[in-house]
Amino acid sequence: MSDVSLQVVGVIRFSVLAEGFAISLYGGMDKLREYLFARESLDFRFYIFENLCLPSLLAQTDQNFDIVLLTSTELPDWARRRMDEIVAPYPNIHVLAEAPNKHNKVVRAAYESIPHEGFSHRAAFRLDNDDALHNGFVAHLRKLSHGLLKLHDDDVPTIIAFNHGFYIELDSDGPNKISDTIEREPLSTGTTLLSRADFHLNPYRFNHRAVAQHFNTYTEISVPGFLRTVHGENEQRVLKRGRQNEMPPRRIRRVIEDNFAFSFADLQGLKGP
């Protein structure tokens, strides 16, 4: 396919109050609101974003991408000020606050807040605020996207999933356990929908583990794509379904320090909620 101009856009949810998102886990909208905006919960969310997620974005070898930090109009004023201050130095990181609505609608608004004029295609990825991407994620995503676009004469929306990475189990007694994985299903971390720039769907539209039922899906395991934290606020939703614990500790340390913006000691010292 010739004349491809590719836009890379990611969306990170940060205390998003939405119908259909985590309602069953927290017992209703009021309980979800209480959890999302509690000071202790927000303090941890800021801590892990500033010490894991954000550094991985700033370390990208290809900085030609946009990130939307999606939050709620009900975010407390102090938290919104802090969020704005954190991202102010970075012109490609944008904060968008949406009023409570259906989850699909607020996420779609986040992707649509970045204009796509001038681009033929978009690689739209998702990322949680407590996870991290490898330093070459955007560059590798761009390379994969151009390659996959050559497979079809027509534009076929395609999922790109990064199934090889590491879990960091946050332990208040420390040090954190870090283990390798190659998952058998797409995870939430870095999963991307490659499509025409004006395509109406995004990678949050379907459960990430089920995307191969809706789109052609390419799973990447040749590079370690992600660091995913496991802690008290998400451990019920983290399902490990793949090859685990195949690397010796020394190799885990080397692979992480060669591919991510952190030392092994940094990750072992991360604090849980």
Q: Which two tokens stand for residue 14?
A: 């940060």
pLDDT digits (tens, 9 = 90+) for 35-54: 899 999 999 999 999 999 99
Closest CA to 216 of 157, 138, 132, 145: 157
Structure tokens at 180: 């390798």
pLDDT tens for each residue of 118-163: 999 999 999 999 999 999 999 999 999 999 999 987 789 999 999 9
In this prediction, the residues of the chain whose per-residue pLDDT falls under 70 are: 1-2, 21-25, 234-238
**Alpha-carbon distances, residue 164 vs 148, 182, 186, 193, 240 (angstroms):** 19, 4, 10, 18, 12
Give the CA angle between residues 216, 219, 221 to the nearest 5°. 170
Indicate the helix (H) or strand (E) that contains 141.
helix 137-149
